[in-house]
Structure 1
């Protein structure tokens, strides 16, 4: 286990909000000993003491009830070095030494290529590992280029492309529910499941994040990484083991089996929108384009929805709907598995029967099953709900991921080919949206999102495009977008 963690960009929000509390959780659980050392590097001209005071302030803000002894141990382990993380000589001084280091790039993703190039020139101690936050690249081509740079720095087994959704308790429980229960696995296919919704709707609006979000949008910020990762766990074939090779091979199989969207598909099976002014929780919210730092000319979406289908024995005929939106009236963060109706109802007064739905709550965590049963009146059906809470996890998601980096277990990180396949799946959507083939709708802040589509309304595609429905962008895994 590596005992030295180097955080580049150590004075940023990600480091304070997530990494420092994660280290405290690891120390409290006994995973970090007195030999552990933390080196923070950033542009600020700080001393060790100033960095330690900063860590203390963030840990004091944390609501996890960190014990004083744990806080002191984390603070004592910390040292600081001023560095230009894109300069080889500067980063060489940070990583100098004979023992391996675990590097965490808590930096804007746009800096990753320059930082990795600097690290390659500087050189790392043998056995070192590197962790990067999402999004991994800005498109398929940039993801391939970043993978090539990383391959020159460390072996693939030492690269941790972090997605904290994979360490969430309920996301892990998707696997547990599927693979450990005989009552579910025989039903986990298109014969019994009509559709799966993977949703991350939040009432939170932009909240001052324009510097990042206005360059990314909902599709790249949430769908391309977090939601596609959950999608892989829901749809993959049972792996032989949960080891890194078996688990990640099956996830890549899912992405490779996704039927690429044609232009016609993108128009009729994807949506994009942004919130207009409204009210959320009794507070006035300005329209997205009026938020500070937003450039309306970018046409950034705050709501994205994509419907996917898989060309596989298990899932042919099932729709997977991935959706994420900001500034909505209510939070809805779940995986909803909707089963098909029974072939015959013998009840005299059944009326409209709601489908059985198995819901994995992502935040708050929980498990719910919507069923139908007989009510107090003979021959009448009523809706039932079975629910179960989740035991608190020993570690927060970032604690689990940091422990995996220090121990060298990449099972919950994203492999290089998987990152590229995820971009390949959404390349047709990005290409069509850039060409404005899908209108950018609006919805009032505090609403349920854009209004439902009129199923009889004509599609916005020109006639020439409708005559070429089989044109996919791209047509093969190795092709780029048009």
Structure 2
């Protein structure tokens, strides 16, 4: 296990909100020993005392449920070094010769090539590891170039392209539910499943993140990485083991099977929009274009939705719908698997039996199975909901990721070819959007999202697609709503 973690960008938001609390959780759970060292590097003109004061404040704010002694242990283990992390000589000063370390790039992705080059020139000791946050490049060409730089620096199994969604308990439970339950795996295919919705809708607006978000947008921020990773876990073939090679091979198979989108497909099967001024709960939210730090001419989307289909034996005919939006009326963060209706009901006209659905709640974590039963009146159908809530995880998602990094287990990180395939999936969408093929819609903050009704609207919603109908804002029905009818690509 590596005992030295260097965080480049150690005074930033990622370090404050996630990495420091994760380290405190690891210490509280007994995963870090007394020899653990944390080095934070940044351009800030601070010394050790100033950084430790800052770290104490952040841990008190973001890790207040961790024992005080665990928080203090991380503060005591921390050292600060002012550095230009793109300068090989400054980077070399962070390294102890012959002692491997893990280097976490808690930095804007645009800096990754320069920082990796600096690390390569500085010379990392054998056994060291590099950790990168998404997005991995800004497009496919960037991802390919970055992978070449990383390959020149360290072996692939020492490169951790992390996505904290993969460490969430419920996300991992998707695999557990599929692979450890005989009742599910035989029906986990297009014969029985009409559509899978992977949704991350949130009431949060920009919240002061214009510096990052306005140059990225909803599709790159969520769909191209987090939600696509969830699709891989839902759709992958059962791996031989959950080791890094078997698990990641099967995820790459899924990405390679995604049907490429033409411009016509992008028009029919994607939507993009940004929010206008509105009210969410008891707060007024300005229009995205009026938020501080936003350049309206960039036309950055805050809502993105894409339908994908997989050209594979298991999934031909099933629609995978990925959706995310900011400043919406309600939080909805889940993977909803909608099964097809039964082929025949022998009950006469006693009502309508809604198709079953299985929903994996991401926040809050949980599992819900919706089925149909018979009510007290003869031959009358009633919905039944079976719900399971998960015990709180021992470690937060970032805690699990950091533990894997320190232990050298890359199973839950993204392999280089996987990162490139993920860009291949979405490059046609990004290209078409940049050329205005799909118009940028609008929706009021606090609404259910943009209204889209069929071809020409830039949206996939159409009759039978699971929406509530015109005027609803195009919001999908709940898990008890009618499951969408999958259609072949190009069908009217």
TM-score range, shorter chain: over 0.9
> Does the Cα contact within 8 Å between 1:349 and 1:381 map onto a contact in 2?
no
For the residues of structure 2 that align with 1:335 and 1:375, how far apart are their CA atoms?
Answer: 28
1:215 aligns to 2:249 (yes or no): no
Provide the C-alpha distance between the structure 2 equivalents of 1:124 and 1:347, rounded to a whole number of angstroms: 70
Q: Distance in 2 between matches of 1:52 and 1:354?
A: 57
1:4 aligns with 2:11: no
Q: How far off its partner does 1:268 sit?
A: 0.3
Alignment deviations for residues 410-440 of structure 1 (CA, whole Å, 9 cap, x no partner): 0000000000000000011011111100010
Partner of 2:20: 20
Any conservation in 2 of the 1:198–1:336 contact (CA below 8 Å)? Answer: yes
Q: 257-266 or 416-425, which moves further after superposition?
A: 257-266
Is residue 84 of structure 1 aligned with residue 84 of structure 2? yes
Q: CA deviation at 1:351?
A: 3.1
In the TM superposition, what whole-angstrom CA distance separates every residue of 1:11-38 from its partner, at most 9, and x where no partner exists?
Answer: 0010011000000000011100001111
Question: Who is 1:66 aligned against?
Answer: 66
Structure 1 residue 348, shift from structure 2 partner: 2.7
Which is worse superposed, 91-100 or 112-121? 91-100
Q: Does 1:99 align with 2:102?
A: no
With normalisation by structure 2, the TM-score equals 0.92
* Aligned: 1:304 with 2:304: yes
1:189 alignment partner in structure 2:
189
Deviation beyond 4 Å, 4+ runs, structure 1:
457-460
Residue in 2 aligned with 1:477? Answer: none
**Could you give the per-residue CA deviations for residues 142-181 of structure 1, whole angstroms, max 9, x where no partner exists?**
0000000001110100000010000000000000000000
RMSD of aligned alpha carbons: 1.4
Q: Which residue of 1 aligns with 2:238?
A: 238
Shift of 1:406: 0.4
SS in 2 for 1:195: strand
Question: How big is the shift at 1:352?
Answer: 3.3
Structure 2: runs of 5 or more not aligned: 460-488
| Residues 27-426 of structure 1: pairs in structure 2 closer than 5 A | 27-426=27-426
Contact 1:88 1:122 in 2 (8 A): yes
Deviation at residue 223 of structure 1 after TM alignment: 0.2
Q: C-alpha separation between the residues in 1 aligned to 2:134 and 2:385?
A: 36
- Provide the residue aligned with 2:439 in structure 1: 439
Is contact 2:235-2:254 (8 Å) kept? yes
Q: Is the 8 A contact 2:203 2:327 kept in 1?
A: yes
- TM-superposed CA distance for 1:452, in Å, is 3.5
**Secondary structure at 2:449 match in 1:** coil
Range 94-103 or range 204-213, more displaced: 94-103
8 A contact 2:164–2:401 mirrored in 1: yes
Structure 1 residues 203 and 160, CA, compared in 2 at 3 Å: closer, same or farther? same
Contact 2:9–2:105 under 8 Å retained in 1: yes
User: Unpaired runs of 5+ in structure 1?
Assistant: 461-469, 472-482
**Secondary structure in structure 1 of the residue aligned to 2:346:** coil
**2:93 alignment partner, SS class:** helix
Name the CA distance, whole Å, in 2 between partners of 1:397 and 1:92: 30
> Following TM superposition, by how much is the alpha carbon of 1:346 offset from its aligned partner in structure 2, in angstroms?
1.5
Q: Give the distance between the partners of 1:399 and 1:71, measured in 2 at CA.
A: 14
